[in-house]
Amino acid sequence: MDISDIATTDYFEIEAEERLGKARSIFEEENPKGIVVTEAGEYDGVITQKQLLQSHIEDQTKVATLTKPAPKIDLHDDVREVARALVEGGSKVAPIFEGETVWGIIDEDMILDGVLDNLDALTVEQIYSENPVTIPEDATLGRVINLMREHSVSRLPVVNDDGFLTGMVTTHDIVDFVTRNEDKPTTGERTGDSDRMLDLPVYDVMNSPVETISLDATVEDAVRKMFEMNYAGLVVTPDDDRVVGGVVTKTDVLRALTYTEEEHMDVQITNINLLDTISRQTIRESIQEITNKYQDMQVRHAHVRFHEHKEKLRGTPLIQCKIRLRTNRGQVAGSGEGYGAEQGFNVARDTLERNVLELKGVQSDREYEGQLLRKLNEL
């Protein structure tokens, strides 16, 4: 499908020299996925609501401070390649170019709506993220924000003391809560007011009851439910609606669109712009080298996520890398940090290989145990 069939020429634009307060107002009033940033009339990047939440920058600061690069999409690119570009760029929205001119924008909702009727062939179980980060009801908003930053997620299931699902908190909930309270007339120092808000329990902000979806539901059903409820993700409940089995998000669906049937392994890279001295090809070959050692482990999909920390060493940022393999034996992952994407990836790769060996060892032990029991039964 040609991306021009589903994209739009209707988008929001802001100059890099404008204040963040103006960008915040656009998000509050119009709720776009992102805003295109220009400098002297030329495309410069995008800014998203999530970026505003994850920063402590004053509204008087220039938009340029938070502007991030986004994939530049050609007007006639294929929808699968655009989905890949959004996931790898860690972006919900991207500009579409006709030649050197911005023609319009594409966002994840437009893509999902365009392919919705073709998603009934996939089930939630095939694409969802297992073992999500959860948070207790009495945790503070400050703790919620820190966890979202640490794990690069935009939603957290809320659980009670028994570990049962009671709510969901998202970046949108926090932004809405904070801006609603900042609009109220107050006395005293604004910093003190903000500190008090960060100390409030997540119970005061979370959404409840939570919309859930079963493992055997189709991805089409999941996306239709997200559209209907205006949610970007759903909690996956395997057997009991109170138990958190995982989370399925619009990004998971976009990632599924990029799965290939090619002979080589499909490797998805999030935040590919952080790659410096290492290439996509090198990453794919390195992961393939590990999986080739254990041919009984069939890798269906590999996901590599890079995250940049503020810390630097001689100008090179500290990079966290997480690698997750979806295999016929379940999921296995490895993570690590290093200065530069290559070093971070190498540490994560070593951890991944150790975890693959551990998984293989545990399963070998179980197989041996089964063989032993069968022999004992024969005696």
Q: Could you read off the pLDDT of 112-122 as tens digits, one per residue?
A: 999 998 888 88
Q: What class has domain 260-370?
A: alpha beta
Whole-number mean pLDDT of the chain?
82
Model confidence band, residue 379 (pLDDT cutoffs 50, 70, 90):
very low
pLDDT 10s digits, 191-215: 445 557 788 899 888 988 888 999 9
CATH topology of domain 3-108: CBS-domain (3.10.580)
Q: Which residue has the higher pLDDT, 271 or 55?
A: 271
What contacts 329, CB < 8 A, 6 or more positions away? 297, 359, 363
Average pLDDT over residues 357-376: 52
> Which 8-state DSSP code applies to residue 261?
-
Q: Which residue has the higher pLDDT, 53 or 343?
A: 343
Task: Provide the pLDDT for residue 220.
Answer: 94
pLDDT 10s digits, 151-164: 778 889 999 988 89
Q: Is residue 37 pLDDT above 70, yes or no?
A: yes
CATH topology of domain 122-254: CBS-domain (3.10.580)
pLDDT 10s digits, 204-247: 889 888 889 999 999 999 999 999 988 889 999 887 667 888 89
Task: Provide the pLDDT for residue 149.
Answer: 80
Neighbouring C-alpha atoms within 13 Å toward the C-beta of 244: 26
Give CA angle at 55 (272, 346), nearest 5°. 30
Q: Where are the domains of the chain?
A: 3-108, 122-254, 260-370
Q: Is residue 189 pLDDT above 70, yes or no?
A: no
Q: Is residue 147 pLDDT above 60, yes or no?
A: yes
pTM over cut 0.85: no
Model confidence band, residue 173 (pLDDT cutoffs 50, 70, 90):
confident
Q: Is residue 188 pLDDT above 60, yes or no?
A: no
- Which string of DSSP letters, residue by residue, matches 188-241? S-HHHHHHHHHTSBGGGT-BSSPPEE-TTSBHHHHHHHHHHHT-SEEEE-SS-T
Average pLDDT over residues 290-306: 75
94 touches 73 (CB < 8 A):
yes
Task: Provide the pLDDT for residue 329.
Answer: 64
Fold match between domain 3-108 and domain 122-254: yes
Average pLDDT over residues 278-295: 82
Task: Provide the pLDDT for residue 53.
Answer: 65
Task: Provide the pLDDT for residue 72.
Answer: 86
Q: Is residue 82 pLDDT above 80, yes or no?
A: yes
Average pLDDT over residues 76-88: 86
Kindly list the distances between the CA atom of residue 290 and the CA atoms of 262, 284, 293, 298, 339, in Å, as whole numbers in the listed order. 19, 10, 6, 11, 23
